[in-house]
Amino acid sequence: MNQSAVKAARRWYWQRITAMGMALFVVIHIAVMVYAMNGGLSASEILGRTQGSFLWALFYGVFVVLVSVHASIGLRNTLVEWLRMSGKAAGVLGNLIALLLLVLGLRAVWAVTFGSL
């Protein structure tokens, strides 16, 4: 099998693996949102839950890594299929989005865990 087909299969595989993981994360995320929304959101409510919490930091940290991989593969596929972009160009843009989501996401996790302590 040629190298690009192997890479395409690997992207397919990783998108599914991250999806399987995130199915559980999304259910918990939505449940927390519905619970937390009761009476509106405030910073003290959010930070009261997350500040100094190793478990929430781990939960959201892993969630960020999964979504960065998942979304970048999806975006790459969309760019190739809908904008007729070359695999190489779409791959570069996909990697940039993955990096952006990873950096901003982990920064956010850091912020709600250790920020303004």
Partner 1 sequence: MKTNDMRARRHASWWAFLVHRVSGLLLTLFLPIHFWTLGLALESEVALDQALRWYQHPVFLFGEWALVLLLAVHALGGIRLLLIEFRPWQGLRREWIAVGGLVALATSLLFLNAS
Give contact residues for partner 1 (rule: CB under 8 A).
16, 19-20, 22-23, 26-27, 29-30, 33-35, 37-38, 40-44, 46-47, 67, 71, 74-75, 78, 97, 100-101, 104-105, 107-112, 115-116
Closest separation in Å from C-beta 6 to partner 1: 19
Beta strand residue intervals within the chain, DSSP E:
none
Structure tokens at 83: 């904008």
Structural element, H or E, at residue 79: helix 54-82
Structure tokens at 65: 């890594």
Find out whether 76 and 35 touch, Cβ atoms under 8 Å: no
Cβ nearer to partner 1, comparing 87 with 93: 93
Cβ nearer to partner 1, comparing 74 with 87: 74
Cβ nearer to partner 1, comparing 51 with 87: 51
From 55, 71, 54, select the one nearest 105 (Cα to Cα).
71
